[in-house]
Amino acid sequence: MGSKPRFVISKRGVLEKCYGPEGEVVIPEGVKAIGERAFEGRRSVVRVTIPKGVARIEEGAFQGCWALEAVDIPEGVTIIGNSAFSYSGLTDVTIPESVKRIGYEAFAHCKKLTRVELPEGVIRISGNAFADTPWRKSRGKVAVVNHVLLDYQACDVDIPKSVKIIGDYAFRMRCDLSAVTIPEGVTEIGDHAFEHCSALTSVTIPEGVTEIGAYAFYSCDSLTGITMPESVKRIGNHAFSGCLQLSSINLPKSIAEIETNTFSSCPKLTSITIPEGVTAIGDAAFMNCMGLTNVTIPESVKKIGSSAFGDCPALTSVVIPKGVTEIESTIFAGCPGLSSITIPASVTKIDEYAFGEGFSNGPCENLTIHAPAGSCAERYAGKKGFGFVAEGEAVTENTQDFVIKNGVLTKYNGLGGDVTIPAGVTVIRYGAFDGFKNLTGVTIPEGVEKIQRAAFCDTGLTNVTIPKGVTEIGDVAFCGCAGLQSVTLPEGVRIGEKAFAYTAIQSVTIPKGAKGLCSAFEHCVDLTSVVFSARVKRTGDSTFMDCTGLERVVIPKSVTEISSGTFCRCTGLKDVDIPEGVKEISNYAFVDCTGLTGVTIPKSVTGIGEKSFARCTGLASVTILGSAAKIDKTAFEGCRPVIIAPRIPIDNFAPAVRPDAVRGFARLYLEGAELDEEIRAGYHKYIKGNKKKLYPTVIEDEALLRFMLAEKLVTKNDIQPLLDEAGKQGNTAAKAAVLDYMN
């Protein structure tokens, strides 16, 4: 006996996969649905028996079963999904009366299918359900079944009067179609019915049509206008989306909802009046209608979905009706022209990003909100820094300015201005004041211990004093406070990443015992003065990165490490005092400090890290006083300072840096500095062995030329190459010195 097939059946009764012998397959009792692609590609299955109780045959369930000749679809099946039996070997099929919908290409490309029995009650039939089958071809160029127009292949469009439903996909991608008159008696236009009919300019829809399906006229690029009868009760999602020439449309009073993306991306639609009776406007319903300047929303509307009017840059004013309770995310994102909106007292919640703040495609920067005083809208306007005009009866709400629980301030609900946080608060929680543009000042009481992440991020603060006792300022706590010019910090505080980044702080004192500091003051371009208090040991990674206004820094003796990227891209930095006691100048510490002209590195420094002074193009000289410094080969990459290092042998430098170390050695020699004999001998040896490579440096550097001439390191064989190099550089003084030496 042959082995039986093995079925994978989920707990919900979905047959997900069948393994085992081919031939005839009997699906076991208890199965409620045949899952997506359960038998796909089983080329030797010839017959399938489906038990009673199965309600759905899902997408691609038997697709590609070329040998499948017969299938028993029992009464009770309601859905035959897209491509369920496509590319199979079926010769005939009987559809039971229980079937409610036959999906897209459900039986398409069944080359042997000659007989289909469809009960009169089955009317939800996709236009391509039987495409490319002998049965479909036998019905001519216009296929009508059970009053459903399946598809239309004739050149001249004359829809038969017997048609009541234009099926899904019936005219899809008929690029030759320019005009359509739908006859009386039609009640429904199916999903995708005229999708991508790019030449279609006009459609006449008769009284009696009740439903226009999803994507029905999607991307009909040439459609300029459409008149819908009052009988229409539903317009499906994306029904007219992408109709690039659509400039006018009337909406019947009988519809209850404008669904998702119904009119999105219709750039020539300039005005829309939503009729009384509509209760909901779906997500992105009018999104990307670039020419939309006016919209009238009736009092019946209770809900407006997210991005409903997003990316409508020409929209200038909107009145929200009284029944709406929430303004959802990105409803007006990308509407930079929106200058006026009226919001009723019924609105109790406005999403953080309702007006596109933080979106590059156009926040509503010039918006004025008209609303009752004391309303949610007034508080929102204050938080975001929008203009506000009080209109209508003032709202008296039992709303506390501060939400505090067990000493934790979780949220601020006030109107902004100068705010005093109540005594007893110990923690200001994550995002408590985040984004509150109308907050100009804050008094933080003694007793507060922690200011958590983003607590005051992007507010309108101009100054702040952090009291004693605060031990932690969280990441981005005050980041983006563009008006914040000064801050006072307590001793011992841990300052989180980017805590004060992108503010207008002009000067700052890093207090005793401060910790953290990573990127704490990044991109504070107005910062000109930094003072480190004693007992600070590390300067912090990237602490002052991109502080382009910073000119001078004094580092205290307590610091042992100038951390990675501390002063990265501080292009205005001209002078820095590195004290004795610093042991490490870390990677990228001063990279791209193009205004830095000179630096002295003390004896205590034992390491100069990767690209620590790279691309400091204004750096003329570096003095290294110690002898133990380990210098990374890229430390001075992209710049050519004179390196004066009396205690470091030439071999300790990377080959690319040695010519600049030789320049520094020449200066020490000319100044009569005391030099270790071994170090002196090493420089002499290097110069003698690399003279040809050094010719350009010798001519451009007067001190080096003087040294070599004085030490008689220039031989007869060197004269002409040096003269040639002097001519190339146009250095007449160097040429004269060489000629004098020769004579």
pLDDT above 70: residue 452: yes
Average pLDDT over residues 601-606: 94
Non-local (6+) Cβ contacts of 597 within 8 A are: 574, 575, 618, 619, 620, 621
pLDDT above 80: residue 21: no
* pLDDT given at position 526: 95
pLDDT bracket for residue 360 (50, 70, 90): low
Non-local (6+) Cβ contacts of 406 within 8 A are: none
pLDDT above 70: residue 398: no
* pLDDT given at position 361: 64
The label of the residue with tokens 């490309």 reads 109
* pLDDT given at position 666: 94
Euclidean distance between CA atoms 325 and 318, whole angstroms: 16
- Residue 67 phi/psi, 5-degree rounding, is -90, -5
Buried-exposed string 540-579: b where 16+ CB fall within 10 A, e elsewhere? bbbbbbbbbebbebebbebbebbbbbbbbbbbbbbebebe
pLDDT digits (tens, 9 = 90+) for 169-228: 989 888 888 888 899 999 999 999 999 999 999 888 999 999 999 999 999 999 998 889
**What residue type is 427 in one-letter code?**
V
Cβ atoms 224, 200 nearer than 8 A:
no
Euclidean distance between CA atoms 390 and 382, whole angstroms: 12
pLDDT above 80: residue 534: no
* pLDDT given at position 265: 96
* pLDDT given at position 1: 40
Which pTM does this prediction carry?
0.65
Cβ atoms within 10 Å of 120's Cβ, excluding its own: 9
Q: Is the dihedral of CA 369, 370, 373, 377 positive or negative?
A: negative
The label of the residue with tokens 């830095």 reads 596
Non-local (6+) Cβ contacts of 743 within 8 A are: none
Cβ atoms 649, 627 nearer than 8 A:
no
E-only strand ranges, 514-571 = 515-516, 529-532, 552-554, 561-562
Sheet holding 14-19, edge to edge: 6-9, 14-19, 33-34, 56-57, 79-80, 101-102
Euclidean distance between CA atoms 361 and 353, whole angstroms: 13
Nearest C-alpha neighbor of 550 from the set 601, 512, 590? 590
The label of the residue with tokens 């089983």 reads 42
* pLDDT given at position 227: 84
pLDDT digits (tens, 9 = 90+) for 37-61: 999 998 889 999 999 999 999 999 9
Selected residue with higher pLDDT from 534 and 122: 122
Euclidean distance between CA atoms 599 and 576, whole angstroms: 7
pLDDT digits (tens, 9 = 90+) for 682-698: 999 999 999 999 999 99
Non-local (6+) Cβ contacts of 455 within 8 A are: 428, 429, 430, 431, 432, 433, 434, 474, 477, 478
Euclidean distance between CA atoms 696 and 642, whole angstroms: 15
